[in-house]
Structure 1
Amino acid sequence: MLNLSAQQFASWEQPIEMLYACHNKVKHFCHQLSILPNYLAEYGCNQAVKNDVQQILTYFNQSAPLHHQDEEEDFFPALLKKVPQVRSEIAKLAIQHSLLHQTWEKLSVQLRELLANQRTDIDAELINKFIASYEQHIAIEEPLFELGKQYLSIEELTNMGKVMFARRCVK
């Protein structure tokens, strides 16, 4: 059965929905990471694992940094102008972005080694740390998305979406 949610059809004309859609992908890929150590122990590193790992690497190497850039350069500053009382949450989120990238760097090394047949397992503790960090991060961030829906104008959101889209265009 297909699970068609509104976020699957988000466009850059609705940048907050795109931010939510990115979080849905993060949750999906974190779930895949959570089952990876046990799967590897039982079945080894087969082609299905390699395909999934490549998708995970691609997402967290390319899309996740762009998502964080969208937030730090576009969404957070716009929201701060309208709702300055969220300054401490935004400061915390920016620090978390940096920590998430650091944890990802360590994890991505292991995933690349797995793809290159240089290892047969993945550090489950590192995966759990990465997932827990994202869960905490999303729990702080998504309420800010809701504030953005309340306080940012259609014009601000439209302009934000254009900038976010342009960031992804091939140069």
Structure 2
Amino acid sequence: MGNKKTAPCEGSGGSLPPLSPTEFRAYNRLSEQMDAFHNHFRMTWNQLYDACTSTGKRPSGLSARQMIMMGLQFCSQLDFHHSIEEQHIFPVLAKKMPEFRKELELLTQHKQIHAGLEKLEAYLEKCRSGEEDMRREEIKRLMDEFGKVLWQHLDQEVETLKADNMRQHWSVEEMRRLPM
């Protein structure tokens, strides 16, 4: 046992023993998977937002149609991601983790984000149909309405799923059996 390397468990206050690398990977798996999904949303958000704030005829090399389609795809994918979380992931995690129960912050954030997504999607649909001309400043305004809570949520959810928190609620065997 003297040669066994361990991964630190930050925030455990020393009350829990250090994790082996294998245990750390098991406990940290959901955080890493969620971060990969969230990085896609962060990248798309940044690309769309940059296109709204840059100057020139074709900001970030995107045409108006490409911006509209990127925005609609972002709305659809984030809404789908939240649906999967709410229907399949959060109920399992909520059995042992209060952070994932309906009345608490992560799901409240989903509601706030969804309200912003609905407005953005409605505007982009009007632009796509030709009912309205696309205005970058309007897309930016709509994104600004829910951007802060979105970014907080993307980070907080990943943080909540990190090994140091998960190990306080689940055994390694339970982590390996989680259907995610």
Using the size of structure 2 for normalisation, the TM-score is 0.63
Match of 1:145 among 142, 156, 161: 161
Select the structure that is richer in helix: 1
2:87 and 2:101 map into 1 onto residues whose CA distance is 16
Q: In the superposition, relative to structure 1, how do residues 98 and 143 fare at CA in structure 2: closer, same or farther (>3 Å)?
A: same
TM-superposed CA distance for 1:23, in Å, is: 0.6
Cα contact 2:93–2:100 (8 A) shared by 1: no
**Equivalent in the alignment of 2:134:** 120
Classify 1:89/1:157 alpha carbon distance in 2 versus 1 (closer, same or farther; 3 Å).
farther
Gaps of 5+ in 2: 1-28
Once residues 115 and 38 of structure 1 are traced to their aligned partners in structure 2, the CA distance between those partners, rounded to angstroms, is 20
| Contact 2:72 2:124 survives alignment (8 Å) | yes
Q: Which of 77, 90, 94 is the equivalent residue of 2:107?
A: 94
Cα distance in 2, alignment partners of residues 157 and 116 from structure 1: 47
The structure having more radius of gyration, on CA atoms, is 2
Confirm whether residue 33 of structure 1 aligns to residue 62 of structure 2: no
Q: Hey, what does 1:169 align to over in structure 2?
A: none
Once the two structures are superposed, the pairs formed by residues 73-92 of structure 1 within 5 Å of their partners are 73-84=87-98, 86=99, 91-92=104-105
Task: Give the C-alpha shift of residue 27 in structure 1.
Answer: 0.5
Aligned Cα root-mean-square deviation (Å) = 3.2
Distance 1:126 1:55 in 2: 15
> Is contact 1:53-1:111 (8 Å) kept?
yes
What amino acid sits opposite 1:106 in the alignment? K
- Give the corresponding residue for 1:160: 179
Gaps of 5+ in 1: 1-13, 162-171
Match of 1:132 in 2: 148
Give, in angstroms, the shift of residue 154 of structure 1. 5.5
State, as a whole percentage, how many aligned pairs show the same letter. Answer: 21
- Find the counterpart in structure 1 of residue 71 from structure 2: 56
Give the total of aligned pairs. Answer: 145
Q: Higher RCO, 1 or 2 (CA under 8 Å, sep at least 6)?
A: 1
Q: Distance in 2 between matches of 1:65 and 1:153?
A: 31
Is 2:94–2:100's contact at 8 Å kept on the other side of the alignment? yes
